[in-house]
Amino acid sequence: MLEAVVYNREQSRLELLDQTLLPVETRTVFCKTEQETAKAIVDMQVRGAPAIGVAAAYGIVLGLNNPQNHGKPFKTAFGEICDLLAGTRPTAVNLFWAIDRMKKALAGCSDFAAAAAVALDEADAIKTEDIEMCRIIGRFGASLLKNGETWLTHCNAGALATAGYGTALGVFRAAQEQGKQFKVFVDETRPLLQGARLTAWEMVQEKIDATLICDNMAGGLIRDGKVQGVVVGADRITAHGFVANKIGTYPLAVLAKYNGVPFYVAAPDSTFDMTIKYGEEIKIEERDHDEVRYIGGQQVAPKEIKVYNPAFDVTPPELITAIITNKGIIRPIYRDTIPQFIGAGTTVREVGA
């Protein structure tokens, strides 16, 4: 199984598959400190909401083992490590979920060495649980994909974006494991081409029948009846079902709704932010303008042109057919079903079906 985030216990380092170089080059980034981990997250060498959360958890381990922090009081140093990692990317809630979970696990610690051991166990648990959640999401999602259908996906919500297996792409992996015959259209996903570079690469690795398209080709395909379902990942889902995901997700949802095509979101329960209700409450990250002016280091627009580069948009619940989670399928998406569902403990079921 592909793993983009690996902690090497023997070397006491975090090993990240550098996603800025794929598919041309496969290179591992080695992080020995929390600062290196934070930089890897900001630079998107590791990306995808669940993967960012896992990387941050291991970043805390590295910070606790970093001798430069040992001259400070434990609580001061620990707080600074967490703040550094929390400040890397603002939209993906899994980042803050993982950091908060690490804080709870280390609440009774006051010694660096003991805390680092506890932190490593907790980070390992977060990673293991994420892989299992993705496998469950995949099985639930595969139940919606009928034999012979063609679906479309946007950005990368695969093994590269998680601890392994994937959320949206986990649906296709599970369907393939079940022996289903299907096809996938892959949006290129401008400006950083996560679909073209990453999802297409994963599909080739898994030998899944996939076709790469430019983003602006999706509408015609959906209109012409060549797409029977759309599935995407998520970076944050509010208590009322507003979904923040890679920029370009919202127009796909509108197209799907207008043409009567099911639009699904696949995400673990750690992606739900139950502290907010509406989409406008989500902080949307705006990234470097040169991500739009350049493609693969090649300038494609005037340096002087102004650029607007939000990394995410928000899709309202009325455009979403169902949310596929590790606890089952939430359908319909109403303000009452999500709190009921997320508060359901380990119960696995389909709400509202």
Domain coordinates in residue numbering, the chain: 5-133, 139-342
Structure token pair of residue 214? 């430019």
Q: How many CA atoms lie within 13 A of 110 on its CB side?
A: 1
First to last CA, the chain: 33
Catalytic positions, written as ranges:
235
Mean pLDDT (10-residue bins), the chain, 353 residues: 92 97 96 98 97 98 97 96 97 96 95 97 97 97 98 98 97 98 98 98 97 98 98 97 98 98 97 94 96 96 98 98 95 85 52 40
Structure token pair of residue 68? 């430069």
- Which architecture characterizes domain 139-342 according to CATH? 3-Layer(aba) Sandwich (3.40)
Distances (CA, A) of 163 to 78, 94, 114, 149, 260: 24, 12, 25, 28, 33
pLDDT confidence of residue 254: 98
**139-342 and 5-133 share a CATH fold:** no
At the fourth CATH level, the homologous superfamily of domain 5-133 is translation initiation factor eif-2b, domain 1 (1.20.120.420)
- pTM, two decimal places: 0.94
Contact residues for 224 (Cβ-Cβ < 8 A; gap 6+): none
Amino acid occupying residue 306 = K
pLDDT confidence of residue 343: 67
Whose CA is closest to 218, among 182, 253, 244?
Answer: 253
